[in-house]
Structure 1
Amino acid sequence: MKYKEFNKKIIELVGGKGNIQSVVHCMTRLRFTLKDRSKAKTDELKALDGVVDVVSNNVAYQVIVGTHVNEVHAELISMLDLKNAEGDDMPKEKKHPLKAMLDLVSEIMTPVIEPIIASGLLAGFLSLFTITGILSEEGSTFLLLNSIREAVFYFLPILIAMSCAKRLKASPYLAVALAATLVSTSINGVEGLSIFGISLPQTTYANSFIPIILAVWFMGKLTVFLQKRIPQFLQYFLNPVLIMVICLPVTLLFFGPIGIWIGDGIGWFFELLNNTFGSWIVVMLYAALQPFLIMLGAGNFMMPLSLNFLNKLGYDPIFLGAATISDIAVSGAMLGYFFKAKEMKQKQLFGTVSFSALMGVTEPAIYGAFIKFRRPFIAVIIGGGLGGLFAGFMKVKTYSMVWGLMGLPSYAQNQDFSNLIFMVASVVIAFIGAAIAAYILGIPSEEKSKDTVAAPGGDSKPLNKKVIFSSAAEGEAVQLENIKDQAFSTGALGKGIGIIPSSNEVVSPLEGEVTVVFPTKHAIGLKTDSGIEVLIHIGVDTVELEGKYFETVVKEGDRVVPGQLLSKVDFSGIIEAGYDPTIIVIVANTPDYLDVIPTASGAVTKDCEIFTVIV
């Protein structure tokens, strides 16, 4: 329970367990449904270590905690009695329709993003490889790799069913079974079908998402209905078959056609918009305003629309391209601030979040800089708007479900090289336009001193500060990949460095607290006041020695300073016993930081720098 105390404070500040009706999450935010929002102490919540910001409006009550939100949410759910909170006996809050839709879309789409991104990027690289002649479209390698992309979208209803079943109170396995039935060769796109003598319209369920969402929603309602009316001892046998036998005909007769009509309606609306005003205005507006949508928690709303376009047209003429242009504009705005800033800490901040946005992750920039300085929003409106305007006029098409710089090769899909050129020109316009605008607008002087934010896990620390650690022993530094222990050599437990000791003393590399001393004395955990967790593992597989050859001189809770003795170790005895004496020093919470960079090589002394943590 890494975030137990953090979640306790959140529960308290949103009005207690009794005030929480439900809580979901998206990429960076906890989205609460509160019975009485006036009970929430929003200002105190914003000031809580680990909370980046709180967005409270008519759409949602959102607590932004960062990209580790899934871990926070998992522990939060385990601490809340959500069964009672969502039970039929509890008064239901009448949700704002837009809020209910955003909650549902966010919850459904977030788990599905992973395979979608994988398939989209793969499509981009395959396009690049075929253009350069590395692969042939008729070759076996291309066909096998391309099958990943095709499978993800063909079986999209199955992924959607799995994602939304729990949210809609349906059995995930029955939902997946229903989706698999719909995309089977017996039903998908087959003409002349009928059920109970009623003719069925020809419907293609592969690549679709609206019919299965409607079907799973109905399945959830039917499940609750049957649980109340079927005797308990018969439910295990009867409910599954009744659910499937009822849901399939209803889906084929109603939800399939309705879902297709909704998809066609969305397409018709944007076609009308395109014929009346031109799609350029939508591309321009979305590219200019996407950061505001991300702040509102509505960043995922475009995904179903994009999926619908890809399904109906084979490409997205609006949203995916506009999202990429907007991300690049955010990167450009932060680069403009990078050149404008005079303070090194600010330069580090703006440079880091600029690169992150370039790779398609804009939350660090939006919550770390945009909200504080405000003016970058204007820069993105200018740069993103100009880039989106150009892309709209040039009718840029996005052929794969992908966004960000890494997805650019996919714009040449189907040998559409002019489309790629126009897209590259659009992102260049957005990047340069936003960078120039941000540089001219400048950094508000009253904001320059604000250079700290809350860190993941609940500790507050300076943005992008370099924290340098000294050696834990005298000896010779070795890189982790050379350690004869797969868990450490692969970096699975965190980044760091190894030391082949030349003396029998192991000392502290930092100022902080001893958080753990293993009973076998072969490992010691330390933590800085800013929250960096360091593990010192003395020897490889030395846990088997059960404390022999180790004399630890500190205990849990002790304060230590760099160079302070932690343990005396008989390394010659360890070697004679057949064990590797290498001391491994790693940052256990490496994912919480931008990077951990080893800086030592060769001989080291106790006061040598061994690695740097970029906060």
Structure 2
Amino acid sequence: MTENKNRAVAAAILPLVGGAGNITSIAHCMTRLRLGLRDRTLVQDEQLKALPAVMGVVEDATYQIVLGPGTVARVTPEFEALVEAERTATTSPTSPTSADELATQGAAIKAERKAKNATPFKLFLRKIANIFVPLIPALIGCGIIAGFNGLMVNLGLLPAVTPALAAIATGFMALIAVFVGLNTAKEFGGTPILGGAVAAIIVFPGVANINAFGQPLSPGQGGVLGALGAAVLAVYVEKWCRRWIPQSLDVLLTPTLTVLISGLVTVFGLMFVAGEISTAIGDFAGWLLSTGGAAAGFVLGGLFLPLVMLGLHQALIPIHATLIEQQGFTVLLPILAMAGAGQVGAAAAVYLRLPRNGSIRRTIRSALPAGLLGVGEPLIYGVSLPLGRPFITACIGGAFGGGVVGLFSQLGDSVGSTAIGPSGWALFPLLSGNEGAATMITVYAAGLVAGYIAGFLATYFFGFSKQLLTDFNVDTDTDTPAAAPMAPDAPDAPEKEPATL
């Protein structure tokens, strides 16, 4: 039954994006179906947004349809199967010219859009995100197992099983540098296994016998940052080798020289440098929250959504990964997650301030449960962002929530997350820190409540101008789950990565 439902969603989406012939690539992240399109003009945006299963759409390098966590992973295979079936049924050897012309036209449109919206810095940050985002499911799974195991150890339950759970939970983190190396080489255009081979040097126990800069190395020194640097270097060495080494010797010399040169530089340079940078990141994060936690939390919680809009939030992903690798948790994520709490509070206020607008109220009712669980796209794209001002007041709510969590860190109750990705109530199973579970849950819950209340009050009293109320507090068709129209003062839609709010 569920399979039929997912197939029905895929079947409803396909004709609205121009059919199989208009699809050049299919992928998905935690919440979005990401499509490469030949001709953007063939997409029927409004009809697509009106589908009950579609929470919103985002246009970036790919056309992104927000379906929500869990759903997107089930709909995507059905969508791929439908695309393949339609292509098989319509493929004809007599019409390659028109298909080539359509492909050329679509490629030109895509190139024009990418040139207009992309900058070298944002493209680099997108590469960084593409390296770490595939690791998120393992981080979440291992993080929850680690928390469950810690609870069992504290309660003295099943002592014969807890060592096995500890191995399951920590095995991935012990080798995360290898996975970063694989993904980095793939993203930068090299051979993934060579990137992984060079990054594996960092976690090899035998590096303890090597002296660099007058002191012995430690296995894991440099962590994910060292692995990232080592794999990027391996890609450039590999490309150089393939340019200059004769083809007859390429299969022998290129991998050998790539691993040898990159490995030596990693051992006698990158591990030390990356280790110092990693240590500095951890020390700075600790200092920031211990000395100015309330102010730092206020700023971080309030600015996270604008950072997302600018695409700069992707720079935080390797920082989160470094903190998790160093300390077992990232103290930044619970603060940044407060942006989602501000969204929830703002949406509740919008619901009360627009009693006649059945369309927006329907959107809020359907999106609020997902918002409470940390999936922020429906509230962002369907409510606060189109209205304009409520997006700003939602940021204010996030600032107050972040300030509360930061204040407790300043007082010594440090709360973090063992994984990247979830937020809202979904983050509770992943909480970790320097205090007991009850304290961590209390601190995080206090931040959420502060974000809800501040977001609600700021939006209720300051989120609407007279003109905005006049324009939007009108009777609408309550049977149509359409998003609110874009207000004149609304900012551009943010690019939202799988790390949800």
What is the TM-score when the length of structure 2 is the normalising length?
0.69
Structure 1 position 362, deviation (Å): 0.8
Aligned with residue 234 of structure 2, among 214, 219, 225: 219
What letter matches 2:297 in structure 1?
V
Query: What is aligned with 1:462?
Result: 481
Distance 1:434 1:177 in 2: 48
Select which of 335, 338, 343 maps to 1:330.
Answer: 343
Contact 2:153 2:159 in 1 (8 A): no
2:124 corresponds in structure 1 to: 101
Alignment counterpart, residue 193 of structure 1, candidates 182, 188, 210: 210
Once residues 267 and 471 of structure 2 are traced to their aligned partners in structure 1, the CA distance between those partners, rounded to angstroms, is: 61
Superimposed CA distance per residue, residues 201-225 of structure 1 (whole angstroms, 9 cap, x where no aligned partner): 4144278211111111111111111
Gaps of 5+ in 1: 18-22, 33-39, 86-91, 453-460, 465-615
Pairing 1:180–2:200 present: yes
1:273–1:351 CA distance, 2 compared to 1 (3 A): same
Aligned positions of 1:96-175 closer than 5 A: 96-127=119-150, 133=155, 136=157, 139-175=159-195
- Alpha-carbon distance in 1 for matches of 2:122, 2:149: 38
How far, CA to CA, are the matches of 1:124 and 1:30 in structure 2?
32
Q: Give 1:351-500 correspondences, 5 Å limit.
A: 351-395=365-409, 396-402=414-420, 403-404=422-423, 405-411=425-431, 415-416=435-436, 417-440=438-461, 441=463, 444-447=469-472, 462-463=481-482
Secondary structure at the counterpart of residue 360 of structure 1: coil
Residue of 256, 276, 285 corresponding to 1:261: 276
1:158-204, Cα deviation, whole Å (9 max, x unpaired): 221222221111211222233334312222xx1x4159xx9774144
Q: CA deviation at 1:329?
A: 2.5
Give the 3 Å change call, closer, same or farther, for CA 110–307 of structure 1 in structure 2: closer
Identity %: 19
**Hey, what's the Cα distance between the residues in 2 that align with 1:303 and 1:177?**
23
Provide the C-alpha distance between the structure 2 equivalents of 1:140 and 1:308, rounded to a whole number of angstroms.
Answer: 31
Residues 436, 30 of structure 1: alpha-carbon distance in 2 compared, 3 angstrom cutoff: same
Match for residue 469 of structure 1?
Answer: none
Distance 1:217 1:202 in 2: 21
Q: Secondary structure at the match of 1:394?
A: helix
- Higher RCO structure (Cα 8 Å, ≥6 apart): 2
CA distance in 2, matches of 1:450, 1:10: 38
SS at match of 1:398: strand
Match of 2:266 in 1: 251
Q: Which amino acid aligns with 1:173?
A: I
Superposition pairs for residues 237-316 of structure 1, below 5 Å? 237-270=252-285, 273=288, 278-316=292-330
**Residue identity in the other structure for 1:183:** V
Instruction: Give, in angstroms, the shift of residue 157 of structure 1.
Output: 0.9
Give the aligned residue type for 1:114.
P
- Give CA deviations for 1:311-358 in whole Å, capped at 9, x if unaligned: 3444433x2111222222222322333444434443331122221121
* Aligned-partner Cα distance in 1 for 2:293–2:242: 48
Q: Are the equivalent residues in 2 in contact too, given 1:29–1:65 (CA < 8 A)?
A: yes
Q: 1:451 to 1:462 in 2, by over 3 A?
A: farther
Counterpart-to-counterpart distance in 2, 1:146 and 1:328: 32
Q: Within 2, Cα distance between the matches of 1:100 and 1:30?
A: 17
Distance 1:10 1:263, change over 3 A: farther
Deviation at 1:420, TM superposition (A): 3.1
- Structure 1: how far apart are the matches of 2:45 and 2:379? 19
User: Retained in 1: the 8 A contact 2:305–2:395?
Assistant: no
Hey, what does 1:587 align to over in structure 2? none
Instruction: Name the CA distance, whole Å, in 1 between partners of 2:41 and 2:472.
Output: 19
Cα separation, partners in 2 of 1:128 and 1:337, compared to 1, 3 Å? farther
Instruction: Name the structure 1 match of 2:223.
Output: 208
The 3 A distance-change label for structure 1 pair 46 and 391 is: farther
TM-score by length of 1: 0.57
CA shift for structure 1 position 111: 1.0
Q: d(CA) in 2 for partners of 1:451 and 1:323?
A: 35
Change (3 A) 1:278 1:358: same
1:231 and 2:246 aligned: yes
SS at match of 2:396: helix
Find the aligned partners of 2:322 and 2:242 in 1 and give their Cα distance. Answer: 35
Q: CA deviation at 1:288?
A: 1.9
Deviates more, 1:259-268 or 1:165-174: 259-268
The amino acid that maps onto 2:66 is G
| 2:187 counterpart SS class | coil
Whichever structure has more helix as a proportion of its residues is 2
Corresponding residue for residue 495 of structure 1? none
SS at match of 1:65: strand
Contact 2:343-2:394 at 8 Å conserved across structures: yes
Write the deviation string for residues 135-173 of structure 1: whole angstroms up to 9, x where unpaired. 63x723333233333122221112212222211112112
In 1, the alpha carbon distance for the partners of 2:373 and 2:28 equals: 26
8 Å contact kept, 1:158–1:176: yes
Higher strand share: 1
Larger Rg: 1
| Unmatched segments (≥5 aa) in structure 2 | 1-9, 50-55, 88-99, 109-114, 484-501
Distance in 2 between residues matched to 1:367 and 1:330, nearest whole Å: 11
